[in-house]
Amino acid sequence: RSALSAAIAGASTLALATVSLNAQAQQTITIGHTTSDNSHYSVGVDAFAEKLEELSDGAFVVDEQPSGALGGERDMIEGLQIGTLDAVVTSTGPLGNFVPETYVLDLPFLFEDYDHARCILDGEIGQDLLDKVEENDLVSLAWTENGFRHMTNSDRDIKTPEDAEGLKIRTMENEMHMAAFEEMDVQPTPMAFPELFTALQQGTVDGQENPISVILTSNMWEVQDRLSLTGHVYSPAIMLASPVLWDELSEEEREWFTEAARAGAEATRAEVSRLETEGVEELKEKGMTVVEDIDKSRFQEAVEPSYTTYTDEYGSEMLDRIRNND
């Protein structure tokens, strides 16, 4: 009996020691993004957190900083490089400023649909682009998703590029997007996302363009009356980590992060797909007029010259690879 109780006492001391070791070793990972805490990104961060905690047995916990609390996407990417935050979910909007090879993904009407985009990003091309990101003082964990972008404004039912002429439209800080909007004769006004709601409210810009999930969860419907389902460009998103964090991690821990990021991306994509139809209905209920009969071929024609803008600057290799899917 005494041997048994000694064994029990020993085991519980051991258990206590393990608990306190775990508590001591627990590390909080701060992740920022610009969208709200009920967005597609947030759904992905939750799945990431759950997976990472599970794989690491609680050694890593996640502190989500949504709604641009840590700044706009460009600011946050810079933050990763200097180590002021650990990870970010960002659209590719500002990414080309750091990794020009990713600009190809921001060309209008490049991807036919979600399956096409996801297939390219999950394949060799997507992996090669993730590797390019790694060469730029950033760590790429996984491609995730923002979604096809649609235009909103309060002035007109936009069905053709001509309908949009002269409108001041906020764009992301992305050369390719700006070139495309210039071809449509709208006035592109680049701006960081956290400034957008107020800019729409105050009329600094007439409209903006974003995926359904963002329009819905960032309450754009409060300040914009009309949604045109232009789907003019697919907006990839990426989960990035700080090289400062990465340097401290073991190989095994790095694998946990990558696996958790993939789980996050999967959850985000599922939410984007869900909202692509259900979100439009919700936006109608919230009072938006939804314009569905878009003359896509007119839009496509109008933005065609932005492809030359791209190839003149960056060559056609990546574009050809995407078009041939090799």
Spatial distance between the Cα atoms of 216 and 69, rounded to a whole number of angstroms: 19
140 binds ligand EAX (CB under 6 A): no
What minimum distance in Å lies between the beta carbon of 173 and ligand EAX? Answer: 8
> Residue 67, interface with ligand EAX (CB under 6 A)?
no
Q: Whole-number minimum distance, CB 302 to ligand EAX, in Å?
A: 21
Residue nearer to ligand EAX on the CB measure, 192 or 280 = 192
Burial letters 202-239, b for 16+ CB under 10 A, else e:
eeebbbbbbbbbbbbbbebbebbebbbbbbbbbbbbbb
193 binds ligand EAX (CB under 6 A): yes
- Which is closer to ligand EAX, CB of 93 or CB of 256? 93
| Contact region with ligand EAX (CB under 6 A), list: 88-96, 120-128, 254-262, 277-285 | 88-96
Residue 91 lies near ligand EAX (rule: CB under 6 A):
yes
Contacts 24+ apart (CB under 8 A), 191-195: 192/68, 192/71, 192/72, 192/73, 192/74, 192/75, 193/34, 193/35, 193/68, 193/72, 193/73, 193/93, 194/34, 194/67, 194/68, 194/71, 194/72, 195/72
- The yes or no reply on residue 230 touching ligand EAX (CB under 6 A) is no
Question: With binding defined as CB under 6 A, does residue 35 bind ligand EAX?
Answer: yes
Q: Is 44 in the site for ligand EAX (CB under 6 A)?
A: no
Closer residue to ligand EAX in complex, CB, 197/316: 197
64 contributes a contact to ligand EAX by CB under 6 A: no
Greatest extent of the chain over all pairs of C-alpha atoms, in Å: 89
Letter string b/e over residues 64-85, b meaning 16 or more CB atoms within 10 A of that residue's CB: bbbbbebbbbbbbbbbbeeebb
Residue 80 CA to residue 242 CA, distance in Å, equals 4
DSSP state of 316: S
Q: Which is nearer to ligand EAX, 86 or 209 (CB)?
A: 209
Find the shortest distance in angstroms from Cβ 242 to ligand EAX: 18
Alpha helix stretches (DSSP H) within 96-174: 114-122, 124-134, 161-164
Q: Does 148 sit near ligand EAX (CB under 6 A)? A: no
Which residues touch 263 (CB under 8 Å, ≥6 apart)?
A: 47, 48, 50, 51
210 binds ligand EAX (CB under 6 A): yes
Q: Which stretch binds ligand EAX (CB under 6 A): 85-93, 95-103, 161-169, 267-275?
A: 85-93
Q: Could you tell me the smallest distance in angstroms from the CB atom of residue 214 to ligand EAX?
A: 5
Considering only residues 150 to 189 of the shown chain, the ones binding ligand EAX according to CB under 6 A are: 172
Task: Report the candidate in 184, 223, 326, 211 with the shortest Cα–Cα distance to residue 280.
Answer: 211
73 near ligand EAX, judged by CB under 6 A: yes
Piece of the chain touching ligand EAX by CB under 6 A; list 15-23, 90-98, 99-107, 238-246: 90-98
H-run or E-run covering 16: helix 2-25
Q: Residue 50's closest CA among 33, 64, 67?
A: 64
**From the CB of 193, what's the least distance to ligand EAX, in Å?**
3
Beta pairing class for 168-171 and 187-190: parallel
**Distance separating alpha carbons of residues 162 and 83, to the nearest angstrom:** 45
Q: Which of residues 253-292 bind ligand EAX (CB under 6 A)?
A: none
Report how many residues bind ligand EAX under the rule CB under 6 A. Answer: 13
Which of 67, 228, 230, 235 lies at the binding interface for ligand EAX (CB under 6 A)? Answer: 235
* Near ligand EAX by CB under 6 A: residue from 29, 31, 32, 34: 34
Which positions lie near ligand EAX, rule CB under 6 A? 34-35, 73, 90-91, 93, 146, 172, 193, 210, 214, 235, 237
